[in-house]
Amino acid sequence: MKHDTIAILDFGSQYGQLIARRVREHHVYSELLRHDMPVEQLKQKNLKGIILSGGPASVYADGAPKCDSEIFKLGVPVLGICYGMQIGCNLLGANVDVAHSREYGSTKLQLVEPDALLAHLSGEKVVWMSHGDQVNELPDDFMALGKTGTCPFAAVRHKTVPFFGVQFHPEVTHTPCGTQIFQNFLYEICGCKGDWKMGNFIEQACSDIQAQVGKDTVICGLSGGVDSSVVAALLHRAIGKQLTCIFVDNGLLRKGERDNVESTFRDHFQINLRVVDWSERFLTRLAGVTDPQQKRRIIGHEFIEAFRSQTESISNARFLAQGTLYPDVIESGHKDGNPAANIKLHHNVGGLPEELGFELVEPLRDLFKDEVRILGEHLGLSEQMVWRHPFPGPGLAVRIVGEITKERLAMLQEADAIAIEEITAAGLYKGIGQALTVLLPISSVGVMGDDRSYENQHVAAFRAVDTTDYMTADWTRIPYEVLARISNRIINEIRGINRVVYDISSKPPATIEWE
């Protein structure tokens, strides 16, 4: 089944992926493509429309990115956003120059002409602007649809070519009417059917997997994270007993992680699951190591050895399944004009090298993270697993600052479990982007009973952030009473920790993880 497709030509916008997600939220399939994608390649897609993204360049600058002007002859509507509006207007004969007054932030859009793009809107609307250039003159074959106090052509359309442009950003939440504008473009202008739904995706994905693997065995490196868990459940739906999952216990997992994975996939889904207990090897190799990058190198090497120890005994194994997502495809670099050609190989299973000799199966490569979570729910995964926070590949090794010992690892596992329990009990877990506890290499003086404590007393740092894209994040304003319960329980229940601090730094400049 071919879905209606909206091609988004990317001119370097920081909101490119957000545009793609907004389109999909309206149940229309979207692809983020290079701005110079040849028209002949676009013709091969089931296009219903094209969106030109924003970007940092000036249309009139030397070397400014441009799209193929032949896109206007494809017979599908084109929507230009910010720079996309400017380049579209420029190619169709309008003048673009430096704005008399640069606009950044919220402003009021005044509707000039009722039109399909701005249908169902009335009065003044708050929109988000971010531009230094703008269209200053419109030829007679254009018409103005909206304006702001300093931008006379904030929304336009061409009278004969199906081109529409908005100088503002309808994809950001700061433009509340953006949802209606996308709906108008997708349904009333492009005539999309809205057939991009998870039920249809599962059916098509299963068919594609079956066609790719035939009767051969597929190996899935299962980490217990959202992506690999959804891949495993989807593959099981598609090929059943042809799937073998490998879970490597590196000894650096959260409390109860191994039991949870075994219960879900071996007991509930009846998947052929191999658990490799490599914990002693990992901890032995990490003894005395304090540099976080060295920790990562050791863990990556040992993971590959543990994984290889199992794959060699699996007969008829030809394929390796990975949880590559659409952002990985987009960010992996461009090759031959196709941003999907060079895929990250380390996304899900610890950097498995190509010399293992497997062909890749990547059934999630067309999905964003939020879509993967919805897919997981459709496949019957528990809400706890589908909505769990990201967890680093090296595990708790990069949340223990300094040397890793069994004692410090046990302390962190207990502290982490307490923090997660408390934010879950308070109903906060699902709304937080990521929560974690870090054990610091600091001895902290305190009073335990009637005695001062200092020797072997550690500091635990708790961190929770609000984020959707994980590129930026702000610290979560957790109620004081919840923080108090977390602190009291950690100090009272875990011997060796006598101080808890809450990390209130944002990203940037800080990172979400500490190491």
Active site residues: 82, 169, 171
Length of the chain: 515
Do residues 230 and 381 touch, judged by C-beta distance below 8 A?
A: yes
SS3 per residue for 448-480:
ECCEEECCCCEEEEEEEEECCCCCCEEECCCCH
Q: Please state, in angstroms and rounded to a whole number, the distance separating the CA atoms of residues 454 and 156.
A: 69
How many other CB atoms sit within 10 Å of the CB of residue 453?
A: 16
How many other CB atoms sit within 10 Å of the CB of residue 510?
A: 15
Q: Please state, in angstroms and rounded to a whole number, the distance separating the CA atoms of residues 181 and 280.
A: 57
Do residues 5 and 172 touch, judged by C-beta distance below 8 A?
A: no
Phi, psi of 2 (to 5 degrees): -90, 125
**Residue located via tokens 């052929």:** 272
SS3 state at 248: strand
Q: What is the separation of C-alpha 275 from the centre of its chain, rounded to a whole number of angstroms?
A: 28
How many other CB atoms sit within 10 Å of the CB of residue 511?
A: 10
Residue 196 CB partners (closer than 8 Å, separation 6+): 3, 4, 24, 27, 28, 29
Please name which of 359, 372, 329, 334 lies closest in space to residue 347, comparing C-alpha atoms: 329
Residue 445 amino acid letter: V
Residue 271 CB partners (closer than 8 Å, separation 6+): 232, 236, 243, 245, 265
Q: Please state, in angstroms and rounded to a whole number, the distance separating the CA atoms of residues 460 and 411.
A: 9
Beta strand 163-166 with 155-158 is antiparallel
Residue 322 amino acid letter: Q
Rg of the chain in Å (alpha carbons): 26
* Omega before residue 162 within 30° of 0, cis: no
Please name which of 491, 503, 308, 306 lies closest in space to residue 411, comparing C-alpha atoms: 491
